[in-house]
Every structure is written in structure tokens, then in C-alpha cells.
Amino acid sequence: MKKLLFVIFLLTLVSTNQLLAQNNSMDNKIKEIIKQLTLKEKLDMCHAQSKFSSKGVARLGIPEIWMSDGPHGVRAEIAWDSWQHAGWTNDSCTAFPALTCLAATFNPKLSYKYGKAIGEEARYRKKDILLGPGVNIYRTPLNGRNFEYMGEDPYLASKMVVPYIHGVQENGVAACVKHYVLNNQEHWRDHINVELSDRALYEIYLPAFKAAVQEGKVWSIMGAYNQVRGQYCCHNELLVNKILKGDWGFDGVLVTDWGATHDTKEAALFGLDIEMGTGTDGLTSSLKNAYDNYFMANPLLKMIQSGEIDESVVDEKVERILRLMFRTNMNSSRPNGIMNSQEHFDVAREIAQEGIVLLKNEANFFPIDPEKVQTIAIIGENATKMMTVGGGSSELKTIHEISPLEGIHKRFKNANILHAMGYASGPSVYGRVIDSKLNADSLKNEALEIASKADIVLFVGGLNKNHHQDCEGDDRKHFSLPFGQDDLISRILKVNKNTAVILISGNAVEMPWVDQVKGIVQTWYLGSETGHAIADVLSGDVNPSGKLPFSFPVKLEDNAAHAFDELSYPGDGTNQEYKEDILVGYRWHDTKKIKPLYAFGFGLSYTSFQIQNVKSNKISYKKEDTIIISCEIKNTGKIKGNEVIQVYVNDVKASVLRPLKELKAFKKVKLNPKETKSITLKIPTKELAFFDDSIMDWKLESGQYKLMIGMSSQDIKKIISVKVK
């Protein structure tokens, strides 16, 4: 055994030494290249030359850097100097489910598959930076961009973002984690100044970015549009210089969001590396030679020439850019990439299947027997509306998108399928709301007619990717369902009580009809394989196992951001204060004893599970220890299924306010009928610490801690007490 350990030690030492040698060789090459560059060539590398590229240096063989929007697929090609599509015929992609769906899988292995597949597509399209994934925290259900993010919990987002990054970057494509940081609403995003406590910043909003840097080893980060404590995020001394590049040791490239740069001197001195989308007036517009007028172009050139800023400041940026190039487009060993393979569509379908959340299933309404001859009324515009278009920069040109109606038709061949729109939104136009020209009463009457004839009704509704819905650029105006859907559902229930709701959205919605419908399924935006995945779950071919990555409040005021005045949300137009502090999402609901409609981590199954024999490896721990929790999970039902075991921690007697519980471990387990598995979950004791703003560091207090093991934040099955010294 000692010999084996010694061999492992030697191999580790050799690989470490090889890595150090490679890094030293790369650093030496970078220094030599920088010596050969003119100041103008250096500056050209630090800002855009087109909407989605920055310059190389042709005379030295340094390539351009090409970027593409993500994070759910590789965006169609955009024209060189406008936001119009370039008109290519070979830029259709695989559309993967939105990141809310990925987070709902609670499955890091699927996150790696996702990253690997989308990275292959980006590589095939010759992209060097994929602009995603997003890990901003779900603070309010009105945020138009929540569908691009990974929920309300920093631990869940941290565990899901790391394998995604690994998967993407295996292809020699840089992931670009966004939007750093506190871009938690779209309304006034371009200027709103966020004020918050250090505890909220470090405990809630930074952890996923920190994990992306230190565990994911991400090669690029995108700055946010907003300000924090009076400085814009893309050139923020605290956020970039001190935390990102200082405390965390980030060695990659900080890229602006498009048009998020506002000052030449701050951009130069406070950590910005590549400036994109500025235009000549800071509003992403374009004029002739606009790129030479970027903040980090001619204006910075003049500052360096006058001696106001030292050229070494630019050298440091170019060093980072060249390091990214050696990892991507100057890496001769990176793979070729793959586009639209069946394997990619299979990955998209698998993620969609595991992310769908069953919220209600009265009297086993689901699954619906596909062999039974019956009439099914499918009502709702979302049954046929394409959701890969629209939404802002995450719009996709997919090779196919199977609609819910098409998927149900294909799986339920013995059923008589009737369809009516029931309601209608307007066309999908970014930045504008256009009302539908269809007659609302006629649509409603048609829906009621087919509902009255059907054995069961599936109402396929929710939100869409239009402006003021789940869309970049602004927030939702209301918590309720748009386009008269709530009224339509109530009318359908009067003619057919055998009705269930299939929600398609990236956000929580109000549900005044929750007690009347037989079932509710939260299906997210599922990409290319949408209809197949929904039909897989409705038919019982797949047992649902998704868990909510954010809380569904009963009413908007039950959400923490909306429990205060308008300064908390959306702000006064200039400033915004996060008055709920660290109590975001389930932390707020649990600590304030405000019952959610559906809790974080909640999701039903077609089978049942039981947790038993829960214990920890010891009862007293030191800071350097790891808490190991073991338990057995049994499938007590008749069909195979997956369950997510979740461990929350409660600091019984803290010296500061702490949430009633915080997620610190989870594991997804697959079980056959009647099967029992033993599992272990690990929590490093140091992760029980809180951020102490009096010393500006993490603090672990001695005392009693409760380990709360269950199947959601509100469904705790067993509590174990341990002591920390």
C-alpha cells in the first residue's frame, strides 16, 4: 500500500511539475510577444473590432478573438457592425434547455454533459469565447433574465456552474461566466447603483462566481451593466481588482457586457481587459471608425502618451488576453468540435426530462396512459409557440424545436387530440410590446368549446420570450399570468374539472387556480427537444425528478425583495438597496415564517421515497474536519425514480442573524422499485462559517449546529445535532 501511495505521489509530482513547466513556458512566450507589439496593436487587442470580435495582430500571427452569445446554444451569426442577423444558412444550433432547467436537475453530472456538448458546438462554429453560463442570483420573480440563471441558492449555483465550465473548456473554448455581479434585475440595469451589506455580497451574490474562478478555473468573466457602491461593475476597484483578480487570483480576461464601459481611466486602472459594444456614445450605436473611439482605444492611447497612465497597465491586459489565446485559438491541440449531432439532441432531451418539476398531482392525474383511447384538449398558445426565438441575447436559431403539441401528438397516438390557442400574445419583438391582432373572445370561446368535449384538459401556458416577459432588457410588470390566462383557466374549470396546467416559464408565477386544477407541471424553456421531453414525463416514460431551484411565493409581497418599499425593488431610478440582506429566497420564507406556495428544492415523483438510518461520522468537529452524513434512501413505490437528498444547516445560537437553514449538500440518487441505497454527503466544517463584516473575513463560531436532512427546504425528515469547536 505504501508503494502504491508513493507511486501516486510521484505521478502527481510529475504532472504538477509538467504543468508548472508549461505555465512557465507560456508566460515566457507571452512576455516575448508583448515586447514585439506596438502600443496601438496592444490597445487594438483590448477592444472590439466588430460586434462579436476583437483584433489580432496579423504580422505576428496572433489571431482575432471571436465570441458568441450563449448560454443555451450558439447564437446565429450577427452582422459585422449591426445587430442584424448575418444571413448565414449553416448557423443553426442545438438549443439546450435554459439554465433554470439545468439547475432544477440538481445533477452536476448533467451540467458537465451540457457544457461539453455546447462547447463542442461553439468550437465547431470557431468561437473562442462562449458568453455564458449565468449565475446571478434569483432575487425577484419579476427579473426578465432569471431564466438564464441557476436559481436563488449560492451553493446550488456553485455546484452546478463548475462542471459546466469544465465541459465547455475541454473543447478549447473559454466559458465566460456572467454577469459579475448583482445584475439581478433588468429594469434600469444600465445605470442602477446597488447598495448592500458585505455579508449579502459575500454570502449570497459572490459564491458562484468564486467557485467558477477557483474550482472551475474559468478563462473569462463578463462584467455586469449596473453599478455597485457608486462604480460600474466592469471597472470596479473593489469587485475586480481586490476580489476577482486579487483575493481569488483570477488569471483570465474580464470582458464587458456590450456597452457597459463608461470611463477610460477607470477601465484602464480597475481591471477591464476587453471592451465590447460601446459605440461612440456609450449606447452600443455605431459610427464610422467607432471602434477607435472606444474608451480603451484612442482615449486611452492619449492618456498613455501624455504620461497620465503607464503603458504597463495595458501590458497586463494583453498578457491576460494572450494567455486566453494560448488556451483557445493558439492551442494547436484543441479538438475540432461537433454540431447538431444526435448525441447533442439526446443530451438536451435528458436535461429537459430531469429538470421538469411536478408540482401537483391530485388523485394521480399524471401520468396519463398513452394507450388509453380518450379525448385530450390541449389549450394554450405556449403549446405551439417557439421559445428559442426572442428573449434577447439568448435567442437561438435551432435546427428544430419540437413543440409541446407536436410531442404530445407523437406519443399519444391513440388519443383524440384537440387544440385551441385560447389566448394570444403579440409577435416576438425585442424591446417592444406588440399586442396580438387576434380576437381574444373568439380564442376563449373556441377553447371552452373543446374543453367541454374532452376527457381531460391540458392547459399549456405560462410566460414567453417577449418583452416584459422572460426577456432581456426589462422586467415583468406583473406576477400574474399575462394575456388573460388566469381568467381562461377559471372558465375552463367550470366546463371541465379534469384540468391540469403545464407551465412554460423561467420564473415563478401567481396561481389563483392552484386549488382547483388536478395537476401542475413546471417545464421551463426546454430547447430543441421541448415537446418530446414534456410528453416523456406526461406519459410516464420518464418519472419526473426535477426540484425547484427557487421558491414560488403565494403573492409577490411574500418575496423578500418586494417586502419593503420601492428602494428595495426596483429602486428610485438612481439607487437600490437590498433591504432583505442575506435573507434571499427560502432563507426569507423560512426565517420569517412566510409559507411559500412551492418551496425551494420541492418536486414530486410518480413513486415514493423514504430516508432512514441517518447519522453523522461523529458529533464534535474542528474547523479542519469534514462532516460526513450517511443515510439510506429507499424507493417504496412500484416504479423506478430519482430523488434528491438535501442537507440544510442551522446555526442554533449565532452571534449574528443567520437564516433558519442553508443548503450545504445534496445528492441525486437513482433507485429501482423497492431498492435501497446507502449514500454519504460531505460538508467541510469551514463551510458553516458566516462572513463577519467587522473583520471582513469568514468566521466559524463554536457551538451547536443542526443538520437537517430532507427532500426540500420545507420537507425535513431528520435532524442531527453536532458541535463545532
Cα dihedral angle (168, 174, 180, 186), rounded to 10 degrees? -70
Pairing of strands 499-504, 416-420: unpaired
Do the Cβ atoms of 513 and 519 come closer than 8 Å?
A: no
Q: Which residues pair with 716 in a beta bridge?
A: 710
Mapped onto helix, strand or coil, the DSSP state of residue 433 is coil
d(CA 458, CA 480): 19
Mapped onto helix, strand or coil, the DSSP state of residue 371 is coil
Give the type of residue at 503: L
Q: Backbone phi, then psi, for 709, in 5-degree steps?
A: -105, 130
Environment class of residue 397 by beta-carbon count within 10 Å: exposed (0-12), middle (13-18) or buried (19+)?
A: middle
CA-to-CA separations, 217 to 74, 172, 207, 415, 598, in angstroms, rounded: 22, 13, 14, 51, 35
d(CA 530, CA 385): 11
Other Cβ atoms closer than 10 A to 5: 9
CA-to-CA separations, 178 to 16, 133, 253, 273, 294, in angstroms, rounded: 30, 6, 12, 15, 22
d(CA 523, CA 533): 9
Give the type of residue at 246: G
Place of cell 407541471: 521
Do the Cβ atoms of 273 and 254 come closer than 8 Å?
A: yes
Residue 77 DSSP label: P
Would you state the cell numbers that stand for residue 591, as one nine-digit string?
Answer: 426565517
d(CA 205, CA 184): 9
**Tell me, what's the pLDDT at 204?**
98
User: Hey, which bits of 216-277 come out as E strands?
Assistant: 220-223, 227-228, 231-232, 253-255
d(CA 560, CA 571): 14
**Tell me, what's the pLDDT at 546?**
98
d(CA 479, CA 482): 9
DSSP string, 483-504: TTHHHHHHHHHHH-S-EEEEEE
d(CA 42, CA 315): 7
Do the Cβ atoms of 612 and 556 come closer than 8 Å?
A: no
Q: What are the strands of the beta sheet with 231-232, ordered from one edge?
A: 231-232, 227-228, 193-195, 575-577
**Tell me, what's the pLDDT at 430?**
84
Do the Cβ atoms of 282 and 260 come closer than 8 Å?
A: no
Given CA atoms 560, 561, 562, 568 in this order, what sign does their dihedral have?
positive
Residue 171 DSSP label: T
**Tell me, what's the pLDDT at 23?**
75
DSSP string, 85-148: B---SS--BPPPPPHHHHHHTT-HHHHHHHHHHHHHHHHHTT-SEEE--B------TT-TTGGG
> Mean pLDDT, consecutive 10-residue segments, the chain of 725 residues?
59 60 84 97 97 96 97 96 92 98 98 98 98 98 98 98 98 98 97 98 98 98 98 98 98 97 98 89 57 94 98 98 98 96 98 98 98 97 96 95 98 97 91 92 98 98 97 97 98 98 98 98 98 98 98 98 98 98 98 98 98 95 96 98 98 97 98 98 98 96 98 97 96
**Tell me, what's the pLDDT at 288?**
63
680: alpha, beta or left? (left if phi > 0; alpha if psi -120 to 50): beta
Residues assigned a catalytic role: 257
Instruction: Mark 521-542 as b/e (b = at least 16 C-beta within 10 Å).
Output: bbbbbbbbbbbbbbbbbbbeeb
Do the Cβ atoms of 454 and 448 come closer than 8 Å?
A: no
State the DSSP H helix or E strand holding residue 301, giving kind and residue range, or none if neither: helix 298-305
**Tell me, what's the pLDDT at 281?**
47
Give the type of residue at 23: N
Q: Go through the chain and tell me how many residues it has.
A: 725
d(CA 530, CA 524): 9
- Residue from 511, 514, 512, 510 nearest 499 by CA: 514
d(CA 382, CA 506): 13
